[in-house]
Amino acid sequence: MNNPPPFAGLRVLELASVLAGPQVGQFFAELGAEVLKVESPAGDVTRTWKTTAETQVSVAADALVSAYFSASNWGKKSLVLDLATPVGQAALHRLAVSADIVLASYKPGDAEKLRADYVTLSLANPRLVYGHLTGYGPDNTRAGYDAVLQAEAGFMYLNAAGPGQPPQKMPVAMVDLLAAHQLKEGLLTALFQRERTGRGALVQVSLLDSALSALANQASTYLVTGHDPQPLGSGHPSIVPYGTVYQAADGRQLVLAVGSDGQFRQLCGALHQPDWASDNRFATNAARVAHRAELEVLLTQRIAAVAGDALLAELERRAVPAGAVRSVGEALRQASAQAMLLPAVAGAGAGLRTVAFRSPAWAAVHQLSAPPGLGSANDSGFSTQSATESETRAVLPCVPPVL
């Protein structure tokens, strides 16, 4: 396969920091785009977010980028510009003339103060697609933070061991990641529209809207019934057994995802309890939901008496969805996970892809440059001067949409 990656030749200016915006930047880099991360003199704050484990490693930890920064910044160059100064703003404007996409995560009003907003940058480049992330939308200047949004959007309430138990935050910045996916979808939509109209667009994504959109069946339960969904630990409100963690005799923890009555009959066979499948309390999913507590007690006791790995093998043979509870390291060491890993390079350990889809229509980007050091593009003599006439891509005239 010799086809270039789909975004080869696309130019992205990343003014965003932390996680959501940089995730989008790495997405484009993995698919062949040229991504220039524009940082303040202090740099992206996540460069300093190191865990205790990182600071205790025997190598020179200070020389390595943080794992958090590494999660979202492969394949980019870093350029330091002080956008609070006329010089920095002028340099950004020159770069924006030949850019396809700008990624920003300023609070509403801040981009305008820095002359880094869509209206300003698109004056010289009408084809510019500008993605703007905010916490609560373009009319609310409140800063958005993932943990706060998880609380305010209902996720922490639902993510408790049960009614009356303490709410818990999810262990990754889930709202940031949801917003990143929304922004990618919006930018791809705008790029598609640009092919039809010749004009770019402003794409606005908020953390709050992204979180609310992901409530899915939990939101519709409230909207349909008027009753608030209640926390069930890792259980499912309308499917049983689904998501509950069981511990087998050998200590193996596992989960079931039994989505049909046929799968439940196969589960009963694997557990040598065929009578459960014909018990009126459990014969149908509706009955199992109604008698959740009784069934969970029986499953907990029975699974605690058998070998976990042997049970998982038998469930796989019977096509019953089930899996072992794995640590992050165990998950990443699986053979099936290797295609998602980025090989280690000098200055960084291995990395994780943001792109989880593949196609035979283009070549995969197997080797990305390491997450960049702060200002590495400045150090390498990167120029912010306007491109030469031969290098500047023509700005296409606006044309009516093709209907």
CA distance 358 to 361: 9
Residue of 62, 176, 209, 250 with catalytic role: 176
Distance between the two ends of the chain, CA-based, in angstroms? Answer: 34
**371, 76 contact by CB (below 8 A):** yes
CA distance 61 to 241: 45
- Cβ neighbors of 84 (< 8 A, separation 6 or more) are 114
Alpha carbon of 376 to those of 176, 319, 367: distances in Å? 26, 52, 19
Strands lying side by side in the sheet with 11-14: 76-80, 34-39, 11-14, 101-104, 129-134, 201-206
Asked if 228 is an active-site residue, the reply is no
**57, 136 contact by CB (below 8 A):** no
**Tokens encoding 339:** 């295609």
- Residues belonging to the active site: 176
